[in-house]
Amino acid sequence: MPRSVFCQYEQRETDGLDFVPYPGELGQRIFANIGKPAWAAWLAHQTMLINENRLSPRDPKHRAFLEEELVKYLFSGGAEKPAGYVAPEAN
């Protein structure tokens, strides 16, 4: 039976993550408060940030930026979109 959490991102009860996805206290906070759908949404957003901003996960400055965006995205709802991003039109 999957672990259930109240997801702070989605503001509803959902399946919890199967493992701590990030090191340290932030990883524990994510594990305790973020569900699988929200984590999947973050991974897609992170991929967009890496690709559009040409970030390298090996660069400490880029990693720090991604961690800041991770916290904003999952816990504050104010994550940055890449420069020039235009949301696709809903049909």
- Write the pLDDT tens digit of every residue in 9-20: 999 999 999 999
Q: What is the 3-state secondary structure (H, E, C) of the chain?
A: CCCEEEECCCCEEEEECCCCCCCHHHHHHHHHHCEHHHHHHHHHHHHHHHHHHCCCCCCHHHHHHHHHHHHHHHHHCCCCCCCCCCCCCCC
Q: What is the pTM of this model?
A: 0.87
| 84 within domain boundaries | no
Q: How many CB atoms within 10 Å of residue 20?
A: 14
Can you give the residue range of the structural domain that contains 53? 4-76
CATH code of residue 64: 1.10.3880.10
How many domains does the structure of the chain reveal?
Answer: 1
| 21 within domain boundaries | yes
| 34 within domain boundaries | yes
Q: What's the pLDDT tens digit per position in 18-53?
A: 999 999 999 999 999 999 999 999 999 999 999 999
| 57 within domain boundaries | yes
| 85 within domain boundaries | no
| 63 within domain boundaries | yes
| 53 within domain boundaries | yes
